[in-house]
Structure 1
């Protein structure tokens, strides 16, 4: 409430007239987004209108009320709160009297549009909370959409890494297959065919070669089969 807008150095930011920018209310949402609410619109002319005793007085007060609202819209837009407060692009202009708001809308329907074009949302007590809730919901949907995009991007990265892993794994399998093939070929050269190496070294042992080790039965049997 009544919090001055400050720059990064902590200095109060001032408007074109040298006045410190001090919105009536700053609403902070859970994700640090902000909405500025202004409630300084003058209702003096409206009070005069409701208290007028003649049609002439009513007409004069009514025109003054409409003009006061329009002037406040212009003044508020010039302050450009969102630029300095890093808040929602639209400032909420709160009219605390429901009747004063509705009567203006009935008689001068263009005023709301004029305010909207100047980044001002004119609201009354009955629709303020509803609009704040809608804004929160829209921001939540936006955040969910951003999360969905981020998830899709991460899923794409994960999929590409998985493809890279499977390619590498297949290459490892191929190399293992090649190694197995080379092993089988070497084993055949070692233990198959007439005069294979297994039989030759075994014959040396039988001829008296001194050794304490023995070839495996599998190799001996294989060499005997092809002998």
Structure 2
């Protein structure tokens, strides 16, 4: 019972601690996002024009984000998973995040930022505007390609009908949405792809962590309920046995009293008959009257 009550108290304390730390974790995510955005901008400029290198770098950025948030490969996510879908086409997902209830989310990290680097380094307004249009178009085309891959049809995974498309560079995401509001509307309407910035992705990861914590708490509560039910059943069984023991003890006491009566009460009781044999000269080695356990019975028998 003490262990059961302690488990309930531990669950309550864990819930309070989690709530108090949530705000702090959100602040840390925001600071990490700002730092990441600056580092990403510098590296993107260095990788300018090399789409393959940008794709590999995008995977590194996303995995670093996952690990910085405490996600562990194999346990919490799978990388470079390849499966055949219902359409018989081979599908390769950059990352697959595991969710409660055996569900999954596909993450894409290969958005091109070449046009955005052109925008950042443009020396005049015309070049800047042209590069931004190309950047917006690049995001839209990449989202359309992701939508056409139908990752939700991957065998062995229970994925929702959308893919998380990560744009690691915060400025590249915000500038594109600000430059072309219709792009944002198109992306919102297309439920198959959800485009997120680095900071938004980290907040999404934070939400997933909370889902897992609530799932684990729910499992603990279920286990507590099962243990409580098991303890209840054990107590009932014990009380039934205890009642049976009390009844049997009562029966034994009644049988004992009846045997005692046969030994020491009534004319010709056993003890009196035995004593008469000794008085008539029977050779005995032990005297009933010297046995403390039966002395009282012998005295009562003599009085009968």
* TM-score range relative to shorter protein: 0.7 to 0.9
Partners of 1:36 and 1:82 within 8 A in 2: no
Is the alpha carbon distance of 1:179 and 1:53 closer, same or farther for their aligned partners in structure 2, counting shifts above 3 Å?
same
Q: TM (normalized to structure 2)? A: 0.57
* Structure with greater proportional helix content: 2
Instruction: Show the counterpart of 1:147.
Output: 220
Q: Deviations over 1:146-192 (max 9, x none)?
A: 11111111211121122111111210121011111111122112211
Unaligned runs of 5+ in 1: 6-11
Distance 2:151 2:83 in 1: 11
Partners of 1:105 and 1:111 within 8 A in 2: no
Instruction: Show the counterpart of 1:218.
Output: 296
Is the alpha carbon distance of 1:101 and 1:196 closer, same or farther for their aligned partners in structure 2, counting shifts above 3 Å?
same
- Shift of residue 97, structure 1, vs aligned partner: 2.8
Other structure's SS at 1:213 match: coil
| Pairing of 1:199-214 with structure 2 (within 5 A) | 199-214=272-287
Partners of 1:35 and 1:88 within 8 A in 2: yes
1:99 to 124, 147, 171: 171
Is the alpha carbon distance of 1:222 and 1:66 closer, same or farther for their aligned partners in structure 2, counting shifts above 3 Å?
farther
Partners of 1:66 and 1:104 within 8 A in 2: yes
1:182 to 255, 273, 290: 255
1:131 aligns with 2:204: yes
Q: Deviations over 1:84-141 (max 9, x none)?
A: 57487464311123233124444134345335x32x4422123332322231122112
Distance 2:115 2:297 in 1: 113
Partners of 1:46 and 1:65 within 8 A in 2: yes
Instruction: Show the counterpart of 2:21.
Output: none
CA-based RMSD: 3.6
Other structure's SS at 1:4 match: strand
Q: Which range is displaced more, 36-45 or 199-208? A: 36-45
Unaligned runs of 5+ in 2: 1-58, 61-78, 289-293
Instruction: Show the counterpart of 1:4.
Output: 80
Is the alpha carbon distance of 1:112 and 1:177 closer, same or farther for their aligned partners in structure 2, counting shifts above 3 Å?
farther
1:114 aligns with 2:186: no
Instruction: Show the counterpart of 2:129.
Output: 58
